[in-house]
Amino acid sequence: MFFDKESETRPLDQQYEMDRASYARQIAYLFENSGFYQDKLREAGFSSVEDIGGLDDIANIPFTEKDRLFGREIGA
């Protein structure tokens, strides 16, 4: 059994701050480096990282289906 006391007992507000920072870095990376996600996010109406918002706004970004990741549409 694995147990990391520091990460598994971290106060929720501290973990949330870390998650917000990680989320912001990931969104910025995708928007700047991934043509796939640049297109997907722009199609959803996001023209910049700032438009996407933060972790509290995660429900506003589009889902990515597994089949799209590999260039296959469902039913194709």
On the question of pLDDT at 3 being above 70, the answer is yes
**What is the separation of C-alpha 31 from the centre of its chain, rounded to a whole number of angstroms?**
10
On the question of pLDDT at 71 being above 70, the answer is no
Backbone φ and ψ of 24, nearest 5°: -60, -40
Residue 62: CB atoms within 10 Å: 12
**7-36: per-residue pLDDT in tens?**
889 999 999 999 999 999 999 999 999 999
pLDDT-based confidence at residue 68 (cuts at 50, 70, 90): confident
**40-50: per-residue pLDDT in tens?**
999 999 999 99
pTM of the model: 0.74
